């Protein structure tokens, strides 16, 4: 701390991302990155942009990218708001749509921890709604909220870190029940098996959907995310963005993102490989005695009834395998394990089997 800090900075508890080791020895299954390189089409587009246009400012509104995303999802381009990663888009959303005096926002108690960080950063009242005993979002908890008290609802679908999805029918039930509350669906992992709410955008003027290119399109290092909603909602985000940074997406990010959407065959191939490997890992872990929550993401959320999760995480690290442990109420005995390549998954299973055997823990 410093005497020069603004008062509110001393109270902030920033988001803590997963460990990014400085050496390359580890099998890195802790940060939900794709195990695959980006499409070669993406690399070529970025290389060409480096050679030709870096002296020029980027398009401040990313118009070509918005058009490409609009065509991909069959929505108008003015339904798209790109940002420097979905975290930046979330920040603008919280600031632009969730700050209403005398009202609060709702999100799950076990979910993406940046929601709580942003709520405190922008001094928003919030309520963390408990997941049910199966770690599922109970949509009725949000359907029954009062619009006199609540201005916004946000949750990931599928949820993180649990990996469990709610159905599109449930989301529509919520939208029908709450026309006066902004409903934000964070679809960072939707490409791995859940149903997107994009198809509902033109029908519901209070819906905003967020996605990212970090997971299923192998571009975590490029930082591209976007929101989709009717223009009257997105104009609030534009105002906040242009009061903060009028050039959020650089030229390399824009051309890389456009190329990623254009190479749909590569996207389908790599996401299907991750889904197949996820099912393999889930079955193998169950065979080792783990409780494996049903995942629609590129990770699994698991616990073992006979070994402490923190201990298991530390032992995996000793074997150069990184997974994510959350020292948090209700989920302290769970590990989140990213789906890697098939070879990495096989090493994970072999290592876990050896650890369990060495500690005299069987699969029964």
**Alpha helical stretches, state H, the chain:** 40-52, 63-73, 86-97, 114-121, 140-143, 168-177, 231-242, 251-262, 264-287, 309-318, 342-358
Contacts of 101 (CB under 8 A, 6+ apart): none
Share of the chain above pLDDT 90, in %: 90
Q: What is the pLDDT of residue 286?
A: 98
Contacts of 144 (CB under 8 A, 6+ apart): none
CB neighbourhood size of 2 (10 A):
6
Place of tokens 């870190």: 161
pLDDT, one tens digit per residue, over 177-218 is 999 999 999 999 999 999 999 999 999 999 999 999 999 999
Task: Give the β-pairing of 335-338 and 299-303.
Answer: antiparallel
Q: What is the pLDDT of residue 300?
A: 98
Angle (nearest 5°) at CA 115 between 303 and 78: 120
pLDDT class of 362 with cuts at 50, 70, 90: low
pLDDT, one tens digit per residue, over 325-337 is 999 999 999 999 9
Helix H or strand E segment including 324:
strand 324-325
Q: Is the dihedral of CA 200, 204, 207, 212 positive or negative?
A: positive
Q: What is the pLDDT of residue 174?
A: 98
Q: What is the pLDDT of residue 293?
A: 98
pLDDT, one tens digit per residue, over 139-174 is 999 999 999 999 999 999 999 999 999 999 999 999
Coil, helix or strand at residue 337: strand
Coil, helix or strand at residue 97: helix
Burial class (CB in 10 A: 0-12, 13-18, 19+), 280: middle
125 pLDDT higher than 80: yes
Alpha-carbon gap, residue 131 to 238, rounded angstroms: 33
Q: DSSP of 153-167, one letter per residue?
A: EEEESS-TTT-----
Burial class (CB in 10 A: 0-12, 13-18, 19+), 100: middle
pLDDT, mean over the chain: 96
Give the number of C-alpha atoms closer than 13 A to the C-alpha of residue 331, restricted to the C-beta side.
Answer: 23
Task: Give the β-pairing of 27-28 and 321-322.
Answer: parallel
Q: What is the pLDDT of residue 323?
A: 98
Q: What is the pLDDT of residue 238?
A: 97
- Measured in degrees and rounded to the nearest 5, phi and psi for residue 125 equal -75, 140
pLDDT, one tens digit per residue, over 220-279 is 999 999 999 999 999 999 999 999 999 999 999 999 999 999 999 999 999 999 999 999
Average pLDDT of the residues in 349-362: 88
Share of the chain above pLDDT 70, in %: 99
Place of tokens 């339904």: 79
Q: What is the spatial order of strands in the sheet that 324-325 belongs to?
A: 291-292, 299-303, 335-338, 324-325
Q: What is the pLDDT of residue 168?
A: 98
Average pLDDT of the residues in 291-307: 97
Q: Which among 232, 247, 244, 210 is positioned nearest to 87, based on CA atoms?
A: 210
Q: Which among 200, 163, 196 is positioned nearest to 297, based on CA atoms?
A: 163
Calculate the CA dihedral of residues 196, 197, 200, 202 and round it to 10 degrees. Answer: -90
């Amino acid at each position: 701390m410093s005497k020069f800090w603004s008062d509110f900075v001393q109270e902030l508890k920033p988001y803590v991302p997963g460990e990014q080791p400085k050496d390359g020895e580890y099998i890195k299954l802790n940060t939900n990155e794709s195990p695959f390189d980006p499409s070669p089409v993406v690399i070529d587009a970025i290389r060409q942009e480096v050679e030709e246009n870096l002296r020029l400012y980027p398009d401040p509104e990313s118009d070509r990218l918005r058009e490409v995303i609009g065509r991909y999802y069959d929505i108008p381009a003015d339904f798209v708001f790109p940002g420097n990663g979905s975290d930046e888009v979330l920040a603008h959303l919280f600031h632009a749509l969730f700050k209403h005096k005398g009202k609060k926002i709702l999100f799950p108690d076990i979910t993406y921890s940046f929601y709580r960080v942003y709520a405190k950063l922008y001094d928003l009242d919030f309520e963390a709604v408990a997941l049910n005993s199966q770690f599922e979002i109970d949509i009725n908890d949000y359907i029954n909220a009062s619009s006199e008290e609540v201005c916004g609802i946000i949750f990931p679908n599928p949820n993180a870190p649990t990996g469990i999805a709610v159905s599109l029918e449930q989301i529509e039930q919520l939208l029908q029940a709450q026309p006066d509350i902004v409903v934000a669906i964070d679809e960072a992992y939707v490409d791995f098996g859940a149903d997107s709410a994009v198809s509902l955008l033109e029908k519901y003027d209070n819906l905003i959907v967020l996605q990212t290119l970090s997971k299923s399109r192998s571009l975590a290092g490029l930082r591209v995310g976007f929101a989709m909603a009717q223009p009257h909602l997105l104009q609030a985000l534009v105002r906040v963005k242009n009061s903060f940074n009028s050039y959020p997406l650089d030229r390399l990010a824009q051309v890389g993102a456009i190329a990623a959407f254009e190479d749909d065959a590569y996207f389908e191939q790599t996401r299907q490989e991750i889904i197949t490997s996820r099912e393999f890992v889930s079955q193998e872990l169950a065979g080792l005695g783990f409780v494996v929550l049903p995942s629609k993401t590129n990770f699994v959320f698991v616990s073992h009834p006979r070994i402490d999760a923190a201990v298991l995480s530390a032992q995996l690290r000793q074997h150069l395998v990184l997974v994510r442990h959350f020292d948090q109420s209700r989920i302290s005995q769970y590990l989140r394990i990213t789906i890697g390549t098939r070879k990495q998954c096989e090493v994970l299973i072999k290592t876990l089997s050896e650890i369990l055997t060495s500690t005299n823990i069987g699969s029964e």
